[in-house]
Amino acid sequence: MRRPSGWRLLFYVFVGFSFVFALWSNSGPSDDVTNEARTEWNIGPIERSEAKIAIKTRASKHLDEMENLTRMIAMFKQGRAVKKRPVPATKESTTISLNTTVIVTTTPVATTTTASPPPPPQNPIRILIQSRFRTGSTITERYFTKHPDVFGVHEPGGMVQRGRGMRIMEESDYKLKTIKEELLDFMHDIYNCNFADYEYFFYGLNHMEYYLMRAYLTYLPRPVTNEIITPVCESKPHRLIKACRLYSTLEAERLIKEDDVKVIFLVRDPRGMAASRMKFTNIFTPSNNFKVAKGEFKLHPKMEEVIPDYCHWLEVNYLTASELPDWLKGRYLLIRYEDMENNQRKVIQQMYDFVGLPLHDDIIKLMREQDVGNNGERWRRKLRIEEVRRIQELCGDKVFRDFGYKTIKTGRQLNDTSTTLVQVMPQF
């Protein structure tokens, strides 16, 4: 067998080492998550489950890279073979002078053509998932960013807060108003793939693994720069933002109209949100609070702030069909987390029909992986009746009635899981 020449052998060795290095350098699921993020977001528990998906994404990407390398080597070999072939014939133009001397000039035939750029997308779609913390927004986001034609950005408001030196879990109406204008400008630029002016965007991508993980972009080389991320964004015709720090849909009128944004307003039973929030942030009700006299029970002080603020957010953004302004009609869809848990396929299809996208095979596969049955009321196994009554008291009956959640008074009602507390959503 003919031995490869020295330079060719070096080329193969270089290609092999490049692939191994790429695989090794992206092996950790969250190696560059900072201590700050771990402390503020309690990243550890939630990232473990999401890391599995990220690893699958990386593995698939590396297989694609290997295929690309194989094709590159094949093209390289083919190019060498072409060079050994005889030079193709050329066109000849002959000019005859008066003294019959023949002068021959040769014009080579063009052998390569320049590929024309792909046409711009005919119907670009801009999607906004508006939600709050612990309401199912991350999995909802994933049902779109997994689509190969969708580019997503996870929580730009957190990037803005970090850029301003704020705590990223600040979510009160007062705190969010201070970042509203900057956030809306940032979101507009995200929809148009303009990232160059936002240092905190690149800080987030390069220091918080979950920003890339939740957008299925963990395969990107590091550090992620404007030159890397912009072509990726521009290559995908549709763009999505998941925002937990946009307090009011109506305050985003200019953005929604200018970028023709479809808004998915995602809500969750306040009791379910509270139970998930307690576990996520490790702020459970102190045991001594259960020993006080009836009527004096209180939750953890932080939850005493979080729950009224969440329910106020629900009230502010609850818009019936008759209340929708003209510019929001056809652009606003209310989705309950519990409905998505109870009938996943139907609700995801509803969201895709709303935004005008066909379901992709990758999304159908993801639905199968996430289809674990009805988990919308698992909070009933985590909260005590004193906590449930306090949450209902802080929110008020109207919130539960508007969104179709049944309130309860006794521990027996709480434990009777044969009876659902998620009722039919009132006519919207």
* Digit-coded pLDDT (tens) for 95-111: 333 333 333 333 343 33
Pair (321, 386) in one structural domain: yes
Provide the 3-class DSSP secondary structure of residue 150.
strand
- Domain assignment of residue 348, yes or no: yes
Query: Which of 149, 398, 140, 359 has the alpha carbon at shortest distance from 263?
Result: 140
Closest CA to 153 of 223, 219, 227, 229: 229
Q: Provide the β-strand partners of residue 422.
A: 405
Structure tokens, 324: 């929708």
89 belongs to a structural domain: no
Shared-domain flag, residues 141 and 255: yes
Is residue 76 assigned to a domain? yes
- ω before 270 within 30° of 0 (cis)? no
Task: Indicate whether 272 and 376 sit together in one domain.
Answer: yes
The domain total for the chain is 2
134 and 34 in a common domain: no
Domain boundary among 45, 65, 81: 81
Task: Name the pTM for this structure.
Answer: 0.73
Both tokens of 161, joined, read: 């807060």
- C-alpha span between 173 and 88 (Å, rounded): 73
- 137 with 242, same domain: the answer is yes
Judging by beta carbons within 10 Å of its beta carbon (0-12, 13-18, 19+), is residue 210 exposed, middle or buried? buried
For 330, the domain range is: 126-149+237-415
Which among 414, 99, 103, 403 is positioned nearest to 269, based on CA atoms?
A: 403
Task: Report strand pairing: 102-107 vs 91-96.
Answer: antiparallel
Residue 186 lies in a domain: no
Say how far apart CA 61 and CA 206 lie, in whole Å.
Answer: 19
Same domain, yes or no: 76 and 132 = no
- The verdict on 250 and 357 lying in the same domain is yes
Q: Are residues 14 and 144 in the same domain?
A: no
- E strands, 36-169, where? 91-96, 102-107, 126-130, 150-154
Q: With CA atoms as reference, report the closest residue to 160 among 216, 124, 200.
A: 200
Same domain, 145 and 16: no
Instruction: Establish if 52 belongs to a structural domain.
Output: yes
Concatenated DSSP letters of 98-112 = TT--EEEEEEPPP--
Domain end call among 27, 56, 81: 81
- ∠ CA 141-146-152, nearest 5°, is 55
CATH number of the structural domain spanning residue 268:
3.40.50.300
- Alpha-carbon gap, residue 264 to 246, rounded angstroms: 13
What pLDDT was estimated at residue 104?
36
Residue 118 lies in a domain: no
> pLDDT at position 172, please?
74
32 and 139 share one domain? no
At residue 248's C-alpha, the angle toward residues 242 and 250, to 5°, is 110
Tokens of 182: 């900057």
For the beta carbon of residue 170, count every other beta carbon within 10 angstroms: 15
Q: Which residue has the tokens 């560059």?
A: 32
Check whether residue 71 and residue 130 sit in a common domain.
Answer: no
The pLDDT profile of the chain, 428 residues, written as one tens digit per residue, is 555 556 555 555 554 555 444 444 443 333 333 333 333 333 333 334 344 444 444 444 445 544 543 444 344 345 434 333 343 443 333 333 333 333 333 334 333 333 444 454 558 999 999 999 999 999 899 999 999 999 999 999 999 999 999 887 777 777 888 899 999 999 999 999 999 999 999 999 999 999 999 899 999 999 999 999 999 999 999 999 999 999 999 999 999 999 999 999 999 999 999 999 999 999 999 999 999 887 889 999 999 999 999 999 999 998 876 789 999 999 999 999 999 988 888 999 999 999 999 988 888 887 777 655 557 899 999 999 999 999 999 999 999 999 999 999 999 999 998 999 999 887 65
Please check whether residue 368 lies inside any domain of the structure.
yes
Q: Is 76 exposed, middle or buried (0-12, 13-18, 19+ CB in 10 A)?
A: middle
The pLDDT tens digits for 413-423 are: 999 989 999 99
Strand, helix or coil at 335?
strand
pLDDT score recorded for residue 337:
95
User: What angle separates helix 301-317 from helix 385-395, to the nearest 10 degrees?
Assistant: 50
Rg (CA), the chain: 28
Same domain assignment for residues 35 and 137: no
Residues in the chain: 428
Last residue of a domain, one of 26, 59, 81: 81
Q: Is residue 57 part of a domain?
A: yes
Q: Are the C-beta atoms of residues 215 and 152 closer than 8 Å to each other?
A: yes
d(CA 285, CA 340): 29
